[in-house]
Amino acid sequence: MDDFINVIKKDPQICMKINNMLDRYDRLSDNHKIEIIYDNLIHNIILKELINIMAIMIIDLDMEIKMKISRIKYLEIYYGRE
């Protein structure tokens, strides 16, 4: 990560873009800054919640698949003996 940051710091084009972005942000009124921060906060919270929901769904699907596989193996063993 440090190498990545060093590359960014040394690249003049990236530094100019970052400075321009910060200059535009500094020119905004306090109300606009607060709105931007609030919007970003809400987006981050929503994205984290969506990721959590997706992770729970994946875990549930994984458990369901494992249960079905174990049931199939059990039936194969049980009916394979006859």
**Annotated domain spans of the chain:** 2-80
The answer to whether residue 12 scores a pLDDT higher than 70 is yes
**Would the pTM count as exceeding 0.75?**
no
Report the distance separating Cα 7 and Cα 17, nearest Å: 14
- C-beta separation of 73 from 66 below 8 A: no
Mean pLDDT of 51-80: 88
Mean pLDDT of 19-36: 83
Residue 50 is predicted with a pLDDT of 84
41: confidence class by pLDDT, cuts 50, 70, 90:
confident
Rounded (10°) CA dihedral 33, 38, 43, 49: 160
Of 6 and 16, which is predicted with more confidence?
16
Mean pLDDT of 53-82: 86
